[in-house]
Each structure stands twice: as C-alpha cells, then as structure tokens.
Amino acid sequence: MMISTRLRWLGMFFLILAGSLLVWGQTLLKPYLAGWAFIVYWLACFLFTGLAMLVALIDLRRVRKQIEQKHRQMWHHTLTDSDESSSAGSQTRRQSPGTAGENQDADPKKPKGAE
C-alpha cells in the first residue's frame, strides 16, 4: 500500500507541475517564450504530463494485480470453506442417530403430525 500511495503523490506532483507550466506559459511567460525557449518550455510541459500518465498507468497495473490477487484468495478461501463444510456435513449426516427409520418421502417443512 505504501508504494501505491507514493505513486499517487508523485503523479499528483507531475500533474500540478504540468498544469502550473501550462498556466504560466499562457499568461506570465508568454511574452518571453520565443524560438528555442518556446520549444523547450512546452516540451518540458509535455514531459511532465507524460510522466503523470506513466505513473497513473503503473499505479493502475499495480492495483489490478492487487485486485486479481485478492479475488484469487477469496475464491480459494470460499472453495476451501465449502469443501470443509460439505465434508463436515456429510459426516454429521452419517453420524446422526434416529434417521434410518424415518420416512424419507415426508416433507421436512411440515410438522410431523400434519401428514
């Protein structure tokens, strides 16, 4: 979890930096950006935007792996619990006394005297 939090903060930092460069480039620095300075400045802005997207994709991949792992653990836990309960239930049915002489066709929801 710690790495995912750091990745999100890093992505947020790159987004804020790219957004700030965008605003500054369109307002305060517009008269000063000409020639190579213009190209370098906007390449830096695109670089930080690209880094923010790269960090987001890495975080997305990491979260998907965590979800897949949790999903597998849940299925494994569910299957092992159902195996244990079905084997315990079959042992209980075999060991319960007094069921051999009762009528198998009787509806279990009805009371015994209401047949």
Question: What secondary structure does DSSP assign to 3-54, as a single string?
Answer: HHHHHHHHHHHHHHHHHHHHHHHHTTSTTT--THHHHHHHHHHHHHHHHHHH
Q: How far apart are CA 10 and CA 17, in angstroms?
A: 11
What is the token pair recorded at 39?
A: 């190209």
Domain contains 51: yes
What is the extent of the structural domain holding 39?
A: 2-78
Q: How confident is the model at residue 92 (pLDDT cuts 50, 70, 90)?
A: low
Q: Residues 57-83: what's their mean pLDDT?
A: 90
Domain contains 60: yes
Domain contains 97: no
Q: How far apart are CA 109 and CA 12, in angstroms?
A: 61
Token pair 């947020």: residue: 12
Q: How far apart are CA 72 and CA 64, in angstroms?
A: 12
Residues of the chain above pLDDT 70, percent: 73
CA-based torsion, 84, 87, 93, 97: positive or negative: negative
Domain contains 98: no
Domain contains 88: no
Q: Measuring CA to CA, which residue among 51, 4, 43 is closest to residue 22? A: 43
pLDDT at 4: 81
Q: How confident is the model at residue 3 (pLDDT cuts 50, 70, 90)?
A: confident
Domain contains 107: no
Token pair 């079959």: residue: 90
Domain contains 83: no
CB 14 within 8 A of CB 55: yes
Q: How many domains does the chain have?
A: 1
Domain contains 52: yes
**pLDDT value at 93 more than 70:** no
Q: Residues 3-31: what's their mean pLDDT?
A: 93
